Structure 1
């Protein structure tokens, strides 16, 4: 027998999935709660039980994709600041971005509509914390820029490569290799063919 909490979670995830599908198809502004409910084949009242507004749905999606990044930051802060830790931060970020790719694509494609959304500081705080994990104390400005470039390569490269042909796994591997090369150059390590 399915427990009520599991059913609620499944329903919540189904709503998120369908809403994201519609947001990607039509755009955030052009999608209504009524259309989400119709595609789900539920009443608006049933939808309201889980989410009162479209913004509530978006907030839940952002929280869900933010959680692995927050866990990554906590992990990185608990580790010694070594080359291996920095590389692992980038590898795990690359993986998290792959998992959350549809949400990140939606956020990227609907920036204008979502500009007034709350919690923009959460993204900035996460990027700042990730940047601190990659930085080496007392590095010169060029080295600091290289370390941040490694972060931006993984993060923003995810969106830039969406428009290029090719296998998604190969594109992600290429992003990670370039990011590692930037990170190694920032910290005086010779580049070793993506290793």
Structure 2
């Protein structure tokens, strides 16, 4: 099915996983609740007990699989704005994308439908918040482009590289390496904030 093994278990998760598989294969608009119920071998009434609409299923998936990203954003907001912090944000984001890959595949392959769902705006807000954590305030436009491109390269690269031969983990590392290079280039030493200990050393 392509979903993380840890998610397999209760009925609610089974519904989410099967629905996400069908949404990705056939498209969100072309998949009905009846089809989801048939693949699960349950009645529509049993399905309605957990979810009343397809959008309810997507929203629940977005909250469940997107929780690590929310936790990352919360963590990043409490850390010093150093290059090391930004590199760690990218590393953790890469891990979050891997665990939520089925959801991001759905977002990538159903962009038109997502725009009409409430999760579309929430996803956009998450990306923009991560962008703010990666870029420096008042940074040059070219450096802002590098930071947002780093994020988009992690999104698009995950799917584009599926058709490229190679070990999945090695491909993930290569995507992360490129994203890290972009953010590092956007934060050259001359424009990085001074460390507190550096400032103390330079004080008379």
Shared fold, TM over 0.5: yes
Aligned to 1:165: 165
Q: Which moved more, 1:43-52 or 1:57-66?
A: 57-66
Aligned to 1:39: 39
Q: Which moved more, 1:157-166 or 1:130-139?
A: 157-166
Q: Which moved more, 1:162-171 or 1:178-187?
A: 162-171
Contact map agreement 1:94 1:155 (CA 8 A) in 2? no
Q: Distance in 2 between matches of 1:99 and 1:171?
A: 15
Q: Distance in 2 between matches of 1:162 and 1:70?
A: 26
RMSD in angstroms over aligned alpha carbons?
Answer: 1.7
Aligned to 1:15: 15
Q: Deviations over 1:55-95 (max 9, x none)?
A: 11111112222211111000000111111110010011111
Contact map agreement 2:66 2:100 (CA 8 A) in 1? no
- DSSP-derived class of the 1:166 partner: coil
Count of matched residue positions in the alignment of Structure 1 and Structure 2:
181
Q: Which moved more, 1:64-73 or 1:45-54?
A: 64-73
Contact map agreement 1:76 1:133 (CA 8 A) in 2? yes
Q: Deviations over 1:88-136 (max 9, x none)?
A: 1001111111111111112211222333112322112111110111012
> Are the structure 2 counterparts of residues 187 and 121 from structure 1 closer, same or farther at C-alpha, using a change threshold of 3 Å?
same
Aligned to 1:3: none
Shift of residue 11, structure 1, vs aligned partner: 1.2
> Are the structure 2 counterparts of residues 85 and 118 from structure 1 closer, same or farther at C-alpha, using a change threshold of 3 Å?
same
> Are the structure 2 counterparts of residues 163 and 123 from structure 1 closer, same or farther at C-alpha, using a change threshold of 3 Å?
same
Name stretches of at least 5 consecutive residues in structure 1 with no aligned partner: 1-8, 190-195
- DSSP-derived class of the 1:187 partner: coil
Q: Deviations over 1:160-183 (max 9, x none)?
A: 223333222111100111111111
Name stretches of at least 5 consecutive residues in structure 2 with no aligned partner: 1-8, 190-204
1:117 counterpart = 2:139: no
Aligned to 1:187: 187
- DSSP-derived class of the 1:117 partner: coil
Question: What does 1:5-154 correspond to in 2, within 5 Å?
Answer: 10-154=10-154
